[in-house]
Structure 1
Amino acid sequence: MKLENGEYLGKNNRTFHVDGLIINKTSYHEKVFEGWHFHQNNHLSFILEGGNREYRKQTDQVLRPGNMVFYPGGEWHRNSHTQHPSLNINLEIEDHFLQHYEASFTAGPHNAFKALDNLHQSFSPAHNPLFHTQAKLTALRIYHDCQVADQHSSLSVHQQLLSLLQTAGTREKTDRQLFGGRVDKVIELLHDRWNEHISLQDLSTVTALHPVTVSRHFTAYFDCSLGEYMRRIRVERSLLLVRQPTLSLTEIAYQCGFFDQSHFIRAFKAQTGFLPKAFRKF
């Protein structure tokens, strides 16, 4: 089965068309087709609720809330044991979007994006937690911008998606140049101790570099300060907690390492575009 532009096996609750991108929220409340199928376009799916078991050529995996996955256009796959309800945000990339920006997902000397055979790995939290965190927050900001739908929304959505995909293709090139070749150690520390206070001295210890050098390398690699990146991780970790109506925002704020609820709300809005209560009802 071939699924055309913006078509999914579940019910599309809302769909936005943004000059070559199709953004929608898809829900699953009853059993759907479980056979092999493919989508016309490349797309990213962020699973907010539910999940399923996914089968692709020679691989299978269980998809859970918080997972973000990439599907190349034309790749056969099937899904079974879908939980009800399930809810996904899908970002679909039409060919003419890629053509407009002279980009593709195939290997080549002038390609701005990572090739398809490697892009899958970027969406693995174990392989690339930095990119995985950024991808989920970007998906939410894009959907929020589509809801706002003002004169700047289209430009904002395009810029955010291009930036995300380019990050997947270029970040590895700088690994050997920054942090004394210990980028993986830095990322591991930040994501393992995400709800603790991390200092430049902590990063200095794992990189064997002076804190001033660490600060300069951090900004060059992460495109933000250490404090901003830690807020980004904490907000990403809070996404599934916010979806649980039994937890108060104060409880979530403290669990995720924020000083209080007001600090958490401001950080959540800045990183996702949504207020926590609005995202809970999403």
Structure 2
Amino acid sequence: MENAPIVTKNQAYRETFQRGTVVFPVQYSLCDTTNPHYDLPLHWHSEFELIHVIAGNYNIFIEDKTIKLEKNDLCLVPADLVHGDAQDKGMALYESIVFEIDLLRLHSYSPDIFFTDILNESIILDNYIPEKHTEILDAASKIFEAVKHKDEETGLIAVGWMLIFFGLLKKKRLYSEKNLNLSRAKETRTDQISNVLNFIRKNYNKDLNLQDMAEAVALSPKYFCRLFKENTGHTPIEYLNWFRINRACTLLRETNEKLLEIAMECGFNDFSYFTKTFRRYKGITPSKYRTFDPAKAKEIIIDPDYLWEKNHPEESEESSGD
């Protein structure tokens, strides 16, 4: 896991739509990060989320850290935590379920004590659950398999496996007690990083430079750059470009504006630099992104073998005998 900027809830949008059905509030998703239309922006919701990497490698940002997930790793995101793609999200096929924790409450029986501690944040669940925890991975696999069917009978099975999943988390002690004594230095650093992220979101379309971002948090450019790099793994300019490109993706999908207009609107004064940067982050040019049809590419995009070849080209070449 790598440190990353701490993002507050007011800097990410809240998802509030209905998950699944009223009687079974669980949403299943299959996601392919190599799909140019794929994007998981920073957000938060009142439900829990469980992620399972089927193939490839996926990097997820959760509130103050980046977690690197490999094939068969799990990631648990408790309620109300800001999360989304890391800046370098990797190439992966993963599945996720978003669910109401009330599905598992048993009206004051023993498990409720554990869930109450989770909801009260007196204990903090581990986000990263590596493949080596085979019992937990098996329980998670049963959950995903049951949820896919979306009927009453398998819904009961899914809830049963969810209880087993959380029971195993407790048994393996994959949680920690909350440290209530956050140092003043860390609080200050958190505020500075949060403030500059908010500054970028409000001013990304302007001609920003390192000096502008440093002044936004009253730091010298040299110290600010080091602080930002230490806490995010990326330079301020890298993060700025990443944010601008994601904004450009939205405009390409939702408007008919010309490419040059979109580049200018997103803070790129040099069109060739915009195209080069876009390709760096999305793997294709802006024009191809706009005309990309995910339905036509679905069969190859969700193929785990295809993802493996993209992630390990040198091994694929060796195995082909060329």
TM-score scaled by length of structure 2:
0.41
TM-score scaled by length of structure 1:
0.46
Of the two, which has the highest radius of gyration?
2
